[in-house]
C-alpha cells in the first residue's frame, strides 16, 4: 500500500453513490488506545445507478471483521477505503474496526482532548471512525450505542436509553456522516429549556469540564436568542427534544454544527467577565448563532458535494450577521465585517490562493474553509437580497426550505428558488460563484444642466486558472448629497451589468456629492479620484453610516500612504476632522472608536501594492507610530476628559452600548499612554475588575515597553486558565516592537506552557507573529524562519491547522526582492519536508505558483 500522488477532485466528475443507505447502527466500545467501532448498515442498490461500485471510505482503521448478511467477507482494502462484492438487493453490511483516539493529534475523527473523547467529522473525518460512504449526499438515520466508563456519553439526536456504562441515542433526521458526533467524558452541564413556537419543549445543555461551569450562562442566553430569532425571522424551529453544546480545548476550528450536538472550541463558548473581553463575548454570541442556524442551513438541507460548501457556509454566515445586526448595531456590524473582508478575503482573492466562491477542483477540501467561501459567500447572498428586495428574499428562502428539506443540494437549487419566486434570470449573477477575483469598479462623474451622470466601469484582474472575466451584475447603492450636506437623492441601487455603464440623475440644482457603494453593497474595490475635501465632507455629513466611516478610512489610508511614500507629516485636514469627531459626544462611541481605529498594516500594504508600489512593512509601521503620536499630541487637552467620560461605570455587562464605550475608552487609553508613559494604563490595570479593561491596559503597557511587571502579574493570576493564557502568549507577540517580535515568539515556544498540540496555543503565538506585520516581515527573515520551523514540526501532528496557517505567506509577492527570496526559501523548505501532509503540500504549492 504505497503513498499515492496527490489527486485532484473535480466538480464536473460528480456521480451519485450507487446505493441508498437505509439505516446506520453504530456501537462504540471506548478505550483510549484501542476503541472498537461496530457498524451495522443497511444498503439498497439503486437500480439506475451510473456507478455501481461498492466503495466505502476508510482511513487509519484496523479492520477486524467484515460481514454481509451475516457471512464473513474479505474486502479489498487500500489506504483510502475498501471495495467488496455485494448482492443485487438490499443487504446488511457489518464491520468491526479498531482505532486509536489517544494517538490522534490531527483532531479529525475520534480523538481525545484533556481526557475526554470527542469527534470531528467535517469534512472527511468520519472515514477515520469506520468504513462508510463518507460523502455529504449520502444521508441516513443513525442509531448509536456508546459503551464507556465516562459519566457523560453523548451523540446526535434524542437519548433513547442509558444504564451503567452505556447510553443509546437515535437521530430521526437523515444526515450525512460529516454531521455525526460523539462525546464522552466526566463533564458537567449548564442546563436550560426552550419552548419552540409550536410548543415543543427542548432541553438545552452546555457541557464543560468541571471548573468551567461558571462560564456557560452567556452562551446559553445566546443560544436561546438564536432559537427565537430563527423562528421570528425565518420561521424555522428546532426539531429535536434536546440540544447539546460541548466545549473542548483542542479543536482545529471555531465550532461544529453536528446535529443536536454542537462541538465548540472552548474559546468560542466559555465566557465570563473576568476572563473574556468584549470582543470574545461578541464572537461567542455570533458563533453560537452560526452553529445553531446550521440546523436548517446545513443540516436539514445539506450540500450535495463539497464544492457546494458555500451553500451552507455563505448562507449561514449571512444569517448570523443578520442576527448580530439585530442584536447589536447594524452599522457597527457592517463596518466590522467589511474591515474583516478586506483584511482576509481581499488578500486571498488578490493573490495565489484566489478561488471561486464555488470552486471546481481541489486536492484537500479542508483547505477550502476560507474567507472566500464563508465571507464572500455571505456577501453574494447579501447582493442577491439587495437585487431582489427583502420581500422576495423572504419568499425565496421560504420556498428553499419547503422544496429542499431533507435533501443534499447545489448552488443551482438555491438560485432556482429565487428565479422561480421573482421571474428574474440569474445566469449573470451566477458569475459571482464561478469567477474568482475582486472586481474593480472605476467611477467617473459629470454634471451639466441639472443632470448628474455617474459612469461605472468594471473589470476583474486575472486569478489562477482564470485569465479573463466577464462583467458581473453589481448592485451599487448610491445616494446624493447637496452642498449643505442634505440628501438630495435617497439611496438607490444601480445595477451595473455591463463593462461600462452610465446612470443619470435629473432635476438637480447644483452638482451633488455622491455617496457610492453605501453599506458596501458589493464586495468590490471602488476606484475613484476624489478630493480630500470631498471625503471630509462625507465624513461629516453622509447619512449612510458605512460610507461615513469609509470616507474617514480612505482619508486615514491616504494620509499614511503619503507619509510612507513622500515622507510628509500627517495630513492636517484629516487630523483636524478626526480630532473633532473624537470629541463629538453626540456621536455613538462605537462609531467614534471605529473612526479612530487605524487601517490595518496589511490593508495598507495591499493598497500600496495595488497602486504599483512595493510596501515596506517597517515604513508602514513607522508612519502609523508617527500618526498616532501626532494625534495624541493634538488631543492632549481632551484626552483626560475623554478617558473619564468613556469609562463605563457599574458592573460589567457585554451589551453593545457598553462595548462601544469601552472600545473608545481603550483607543483613548492608548493615545494617553503615549503622553503619560503608561501611568493611566498602570492604574487601569491595577483597578480592572474585568478582562476587557485588564487586557486593554496590558496591551498599552506592552506596546510602550513598560509592561514587564503587569505581564508577570497577569501570568501569576491566570496561569491556571488556558484561554486566558492564550491571551498572555498572543498579546506579548502582538505588541512587540518589530525587531523583537520573532525572538520573543521563539522564546515563548520554549515556555513550559507552550503546547504545539493545542491549536489555540499554537495560533496564539504563531498567529500573533504573522499578524504583527512589521515584526513578521522584519529584515533578515527571522520571523519567516521561525514560522516555517514550527509549521514543519506541526505538520507531522496536525496537517489541518498547519495548512491553514501557511496562508499567512500568501501575500509574499507584494514585498521586495530580498523578502521574496527569504520567503521563497522557507516555502521551498516546507515543500521539501519528508512525508509532508496533502493539506500543507497543496497550500504551499499553490502559494508558490
Ligand atoms: N462547519 C463548521 C462551521 O462553520 C466549521 C468547521 C469545518 C469545523 C471543518 C470543523 C471542521 O461552522
Ligand atoms: Zn458554518
- For 580-595, the pLDDT digits (tens) are 999 999 999 999 999 9
Q: Name which residue sits closest to atom 8 of ligand 1, judged by CA.
A: 256
Give the position of cell 498602570: 682
Residue 312 C-alpha to ligand 2 middle, in angstroms?
A: 7
According to the model, what pLDDT value does residue 5 have? 73
Ligand 1 atom closest to the Cα of residue 290 is: 12
pLDDT for residue 293 is more than 90: yes
Q: Name which residue sits closest to atom 11 of ligand 1, judged by CA.
A: 122
d(CA 518, CA 532): 18
Would you name the residues annotated as active-site residues?
291
Q: Name which residue sits closest to atom 6 of ligand 1, judged by CA.
A: 256
Q: Which three cell numbers stand for residue 180?
A: 455525526
pLDDT for residue 716 is more than 60: yes
Residues 315/308, Cβ–Cβ less than 8 Å: no
> For residue 4, what pLDDT band results from cuts at 50, 70 and 90?
low
Q: What is the pLDDT of residues 742-799, one digit of tens each?
A: 999 999 999 999 999 999 999 999 999 999 999 999 999 999 999 999 999 999 999 9
316 alpha carbon, closest ligand: 2
Closest CA to 522 of 607, 429, 612, 599: 429
Residue 258 C-alpha to ligand 1 middle, in angstroms?
A: 9
d(CA 136, CA 505): 50
Residue 66 pairs with which residues in a beta bridge? Answer: 95
Residues having CB closer than 6 A to ligand 1 are 120, 122-123, 253, 255-257, 290-291, 313, 369
Residues 811/351, Cβ–Cβ less than 8 Å: yes
| Pocket residue to mutate for ligand 1, from 255, 262, 303, 801, most atoms within 8 A of Cβ | 255
Alpha helices per DSSP H over 677-740: 679-687, 691-703, 708-718, 722-734
Cβ neighbour number for residue 619 with a 10 Å cutoff? 17
pLDDT for residue 441 is more than 90: yes
Residues measured by CB to lie within 5 Å of ligand 2, the ion: 313, 316
Give the position of cell 494517538: 103
Q: Is this prediction's ipTM beyond 0.90?
A: yes
Residue 286 C-alpha to ligand 2 middle, in angstroms?
A: 11
Q: What is the pTM of this model?
A: 0.98
Cα angle vertex 251, ends 245, 254, to 5°? 65
Q: Name which residue sits closest to atom 1 of ligand 1, judged by CA.
A: 256
Ligand 1 atom closest to the Cα of residue 298 is: 1
Residues 455/443, Cβ–Cβ less than 8 Å: yes
Residue 120 C-alpha to ligand 1 middle, in angstroms?
A: 9
Ligand 1 atom closest to the Cα of residue 252 is: 10
Give the position of cell 465548540: 264
Residue 33 C-alpha to ligand 1 middle, in angstroms?
A: 26
d(CA 644, CA 479): 37
d(CA 714, CA 737): 20
Closest CA to 788 of 772, 802, 771, 774: 802
Q: Which three cell numbers stand for residue 58?
A: 476508510
Cα angle vertex 327, ends 323, 330, to 5°? 80
Cβ-Cβ contacts under 8 Å for 492 (sequence gap 6 or more): 477, 478, 479
d(CA 437, CA 352): 11
Give the position of cell 464605550: 661
262 alpha carbon, closest ligand: 1
Q: Name which residue sits closest to atom 9 of ligand 1, judged by CA.
A: 122
| Pocket residue to mutate for ligand 1, from 107, 123, 178, 254, most atoms within 8 A of Cβ | 254
Query: 3-state DSSP call for residue 609?
Result: helix
Closest CA to 439 of 380, 361, 503: 380
Cα angle vertex 446, ends 444, 447, to 5°? 155
320 alpha carbon, closest ligand: 2
Question: CA 635 from chain center: how many Å?
Answer: 36
804 alpha carbon, closest ligand: 1
Q: Which three cell numbers stand for residue 582?
A: 473624537
Residue 255 C-alpha to ligand 1 middle, in angstroms?
A: 6
Q: What is the pLDDT of residues 447-485, one digit of tens each?
A: 999 999 999 999 999 999 999 999 999 999 999 999 999
d(CA 506, CA 572): 36
Q: What is the pLDDT of residues 230-265, one digit of tens each?
A: 999 999 999 999 999 999 999 999 999 999 999 999
pLDDT for residue 42 is more than 50: yes
Helix axes of 411-422 and 377-388: crossing angle, nearest 10 degrees: 10
Ligand 1 atom closest to the Cα of residue 251 is: 10
> For residue 728, what pLDDT band results from cuts at 50, 70 and 90?
very high
Cβ-Cβ contacts under 8 Å for 275 (sequence gap 6 or more): 215, 691, 718, 721, 723, 724
Q: What is the pLDDT of residues 131-172, one digit of tens each?
A: 999 999 999 999 999 999 999 999 999 999 999 999 999 999
d(CA 25, CA 20): 15
Ligand 1 atom closest to the Cα of residue 291 is: 12
Ligand 1 atom closest to the Cα of residue 108 is: 11
Q: Which three cell numbers stand for residue 220?
A: 446559553
Residue 311 C-alpha to ligand 2 middle, in angstroms?
A: 10
Closest CA to 327 of 657, 94, 707, 744: 657
Q: What is the pLDDT of residues 192-238, one digit of tens each?
A: 999 999 999 999 999 999 999 999 999 999 999 999 999 999 999 99
Residue 508 C-alpha to ligand 1 middle, in angstroms?
A: 51
Cβ-Cβ contacts under 8 Å for 726 (sequence gap 6 or more): 267, 760, 761, 764
801 alpha carbon, closest ligand: 1
Quote the mean pLDDT of the chain: 98
Cβ neighbour number for residue 712 with a 10 Å cutoff? 10
Closest CA to 322 of 371, 259, 279, 385: 385
Residue 320 C-alpha to ligand 1 middle, in angstroms?
A: 14
Residue 401 C-alpha to ligand 2 middle, in angstroms?
A: 18
Residue 423 class from Cβ within 10 Å (0-12 exposed, 13-18 middle, 19+ buried)? Answer: exposed
According to the model, what pLDDT value does residue 32 have? 98
256 alpha carbon, closest ligand: 1
Alpha helices per DSSP H over 171-329: 217-234, 278-293, 309-327
Q: Name which residue sits closest to atom 3 of ligand 1, judged by CA.
A: 256
317 alpha carbon, closest ligand: 2
Residues 443/528, Cβ–Cβ less than 8 Å: yes
**CA torsion through residues 165, 171, 177, 178, sign:** negative
Q: Name which residue sits closest to atom 12 of ligand 1, judged by CA.
A: 256
Per residue, what are the HEC states of 92-113?
EEEEEEEECCCCCCCCCEEEEE
| Pocket residue to mutate for ligand 1, from 292, 369, 378, most atoms within 8 A of Cβ | 369
Residues 745/786, Cβ–Cβ less than 8 Å: yes
Residue 644 C-alpha to ligand 1 middle, in angstroms?
A: 42
Identify the H or E element spanning 203.
Answer: strand 201-208
pLDDT for residue 329 is more than 60: yes
Q: What is the pLDDT of residues 95-137, one digit of tens each?
A: 999 999 999 999 999 999 999 999 999 999 999 999 999 999 9
d(CA 15, CA 493): 41
Residue 263 C-alpha to ligand 1 middle, in angstroms?
A: 10
Closest CA to 282 of 323, 230, 232: 323
Rounded mean pLDDT, 25-45: 99
Rounded mean pLDDT, 433-441: 98
Q: Name which residue sits closest to atom 5 of ligand 1, judged by CA.
A: 256
Ligand 1 atom closest to the Cα of residue 287 is: 12
| Pocket residue to mutate for ligand 1, from 122, 134, 296, 308, most atoms within 8 A of Cβ | 122
Give the position of cell 477575483: 437
Ligand 1 atom closest to the Cα of residue 313 is: 4
d(CA 73, CA 71): 6
Q: Which three cell numbers stand for residue 584?
A: 463629538
Ligand 1 atom closest to the Cα of residue 294 is: 12
Query: 3-state DSSP call for residue 530?
Result: coil
Question: CA 732 from chain center: how many Å?
Answer: 24
> For residue 1, what pLDDT band results from cuts at 50, 70 and 90?
very low
Q: Name which residue sits closest to atom 2 of ligand 1, judged by CA.
A: 256
According to the model, what pLDDT value does residue 6 have? 81
Amino acid at each position: 500500500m504505497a503513498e499515492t500522488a496527490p489527486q485532484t477532485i473535480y466538480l464536473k466528475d460528480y456521480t451519485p453513490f450507487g446505493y441508498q443507505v437505509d439505516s446506520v447502527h453504530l456501537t462504540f466500545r471506548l478505550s483510549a488506545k484501542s476503541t472498537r467501532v461496530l457498524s451495522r448498515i443497511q444498503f439498497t442498490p439503486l437500480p439506475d445507478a451510473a456507478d455501481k461500485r461498492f466503495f466505502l471510505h476508510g482511513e487509519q482503521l484496523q479492520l477486524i471483521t467484515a460481514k454481509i448478511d451475516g457471512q464473513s467477507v474479505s474486502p479489498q482494502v487500500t489506504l483510502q477505503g475498501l471495495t467488496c462484492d455485494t448482492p443485487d438487493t438490499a443487504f446488511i453490511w457489518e464491520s468491526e474496526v479498531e482505532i486509536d483516539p489517544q494517538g490522534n493529534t490531527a483532531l479529525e475523527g475520534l480523538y481525545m482532548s484533556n481526557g475526554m473523547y470527542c469527534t470531528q467529522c467535517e469534512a472527511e473525518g468520519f472515514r477515520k471512525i469506520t468504513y462508510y460512504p463518507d460523502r455529504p449526499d449520502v444521508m441516513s438515520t443513525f442509531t448509536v450505542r456508546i459503551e464507556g466508563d465516562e459519566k457523560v456519553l453523548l451523540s446526535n439526536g434524542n437519548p433513547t436509553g442509558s444504564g451503567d456504562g452505556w447510553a443509546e441515542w437515535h437521530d430521526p433526521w437523515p444526515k450525512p456522516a460529516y454531521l455525526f458526533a460523539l462525546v464522552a467524558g466526566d463533564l458537567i452541564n449548564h442546563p436550560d429549556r426552550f419552548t419552540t413556537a409550536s410548543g415543543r419543549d427542548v432541553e438545552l445543555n452546555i457541557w464543560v469540564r468541571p471548573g468551567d461551569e461558571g462560564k456557560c450562562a452567556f452562551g446559553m442566553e445566546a443560544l436561546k436568542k438564536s432559537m427565537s430569532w430563527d423562528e421570528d425571522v425565518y420561521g424555522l424551529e428546532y426539531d429535536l427534544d434536546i440540544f447539546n453544546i460541548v466545549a473542548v480545548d483542542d479543536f482545529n476550528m471555531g465550532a461544529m454544527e453536528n446535529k443536536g450536538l454542537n462541538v465548540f472550541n472552548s474559546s468560542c463558548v466559555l465566557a465570563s467577565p473576568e476572563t473574556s473581553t468584549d470582543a470574545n463575548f461578541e464572537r461567542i454570541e455570533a458563533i453560537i448563532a452560526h452553529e445553531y442556524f446550521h440546523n436548517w442551513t446545513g443540516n436539514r438541507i445539506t450540500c450535495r458535494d463539497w464544492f457546494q460548501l458555500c451553500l451552507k457556509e455563505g448562507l449561514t454566515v449571512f444569517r448570523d450577521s443578520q442576527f448580530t445586526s439585530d442584536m447589536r448595531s447594524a452599522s457597527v456590524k457592517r463596518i466590522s465585517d467589511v474591515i474583516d473582508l478586506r483584511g482576509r478575503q481581499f488578500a486571498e482573492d488578490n493573490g495565489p490562493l484566489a478561488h471561486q466562491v464555488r470552486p471546481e477542483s481541489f486536492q484537500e477540501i479542508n483547505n477550502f474553509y476560507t474567507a472566500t467561501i464563508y465571507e464572500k459567500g455571505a456577501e453574494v447572498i447579501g447582493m442577491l437580497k439587495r437585487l431582489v428586495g427583502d420581500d422576495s428574499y423572504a419568499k425565496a428562502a421560504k420556498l428553499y426550505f419547503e422544496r429542499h428539506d431533507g435533501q443534499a443540494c447545489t448552488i443551482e437549487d438555491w438560485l432556482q428558488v429565487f428565479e422561480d419566486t421573482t421571474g428574474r434570470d440569474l445566469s449573470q449573477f451566477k458569475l459571482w460563484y464561478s469567477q474568482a477575483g475582486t472586481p474593480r469598479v472605476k467611477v467617473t462623474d459629470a454634471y451639466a444642466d441639472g443632470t448628474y451622470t455617474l459612469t461605472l466601469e468594471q473589470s476583474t484582474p486575472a486569478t489562477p486558472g482564470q485569465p479573463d472575466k466577464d462583467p458581473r451584475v453589481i448592485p451599487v447603492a448610491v445616494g446624493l448629497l447637496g452642498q449643505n450636506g442634505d440628501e438630495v437623492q435617497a439611496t438607490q441601487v444601480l445595477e451595473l451589468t455591463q463593462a461600462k455603464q452610465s446612470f443619470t440623475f435629473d432635476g438637480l440644482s447644483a452638482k451633488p456629492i455622491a455617496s457610492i457603494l453605501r453599506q458596501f453593497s458589493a464586495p468590490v474595490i471602488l476606484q475613484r479620484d476624489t478630493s480630500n475635501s470631498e471625503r471630509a465632507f462625507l465624513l461629516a455629513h453622509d447619512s449612510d453610516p458605512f460610507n461615513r466611516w469609509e470616507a474617514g478610512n480612505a482619508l486615514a489610508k491616504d494620509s499614511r500612504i503619503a507619509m510612507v511614500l513622500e515622507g510628509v507629516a500627517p495630513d492636517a485636514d484629516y487630523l483636524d476632522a478626526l480630532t473633532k469627531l473624537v470629541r463629538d459626544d453626540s456621536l455613538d462611541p462605537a462609531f467614534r472608536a471605529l473612526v479612530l481605529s487605524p487601517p490595518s498594516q496589511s490593508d495598507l500594504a495591499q493598497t500600496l501594492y495595488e497602486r504599483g508600489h512595493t510596501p515596506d512593512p517597517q515604513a508602514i509601521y513607522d508612519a502609523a507610530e508617527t500618526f498616532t503620536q501626532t494625534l495624541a499630541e493634538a488631543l492632549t487637552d481632551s484626552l483626560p476628559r475623554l478617558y473619564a467620560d468613556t469609562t463605563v461605570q457599574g458592573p460589567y455587562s457585554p451589551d453593545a452600548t457598553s462595548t462601544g464605550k469601552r472600545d473608545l475608552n481603550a483607543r483613548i487609553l492608548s493615545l494617553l499612554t503615549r503622553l503619560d508613559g503608561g501611568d493611566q494604563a498602570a492604574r487601569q490595570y491595577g483597578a480592572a475588575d474585568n478582562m476587557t479593561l485588564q487586557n486593554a491596559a496590558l496591551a498599552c503597557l506592552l506596546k510602550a515597553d513598560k509592561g514587564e511587571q503587569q505581564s508577570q502579574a497577569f501570568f501569576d493570576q491566570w496561569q491556571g486558565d488556558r484561554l486566558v493564557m492564550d491571551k498572555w502568549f498572543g498579546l506579548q507577540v502582538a505588541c512587540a516592537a518589530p525587531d523583537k517580535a520573532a525572538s520573543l515568539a521563539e522564546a515563548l515556544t520554549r515556555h513550559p506552557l507552550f503546547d504545539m498540540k493545542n491549536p489555540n496555543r499554537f495560533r496564539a503565538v504563531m498567529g500573533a507573529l504573522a499578524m504583527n506585520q512589521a515584526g513578521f516581515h522584519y529584515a533578515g527573515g527571522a520571523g519567516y524562519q521561525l514560522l516555517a520551523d514550527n509549521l514543519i514540526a506541526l505538520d507531522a501532528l496536525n496537517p489541518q491547522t498547519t495548512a491553514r496557517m501557511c496562508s499567512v505567506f500568501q501575500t509574499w509577492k507584494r514585498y521586495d526582492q530580498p523578502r521574496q527570496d527569504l520567503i521563497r526559501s522557507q516555502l521551498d523548505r516546507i515543500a521539501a519536508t519528508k512525508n509532508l501532509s496533502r493539506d500543507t503540500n497543496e497550500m504551499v504549492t499553490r502559494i508558490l505558483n
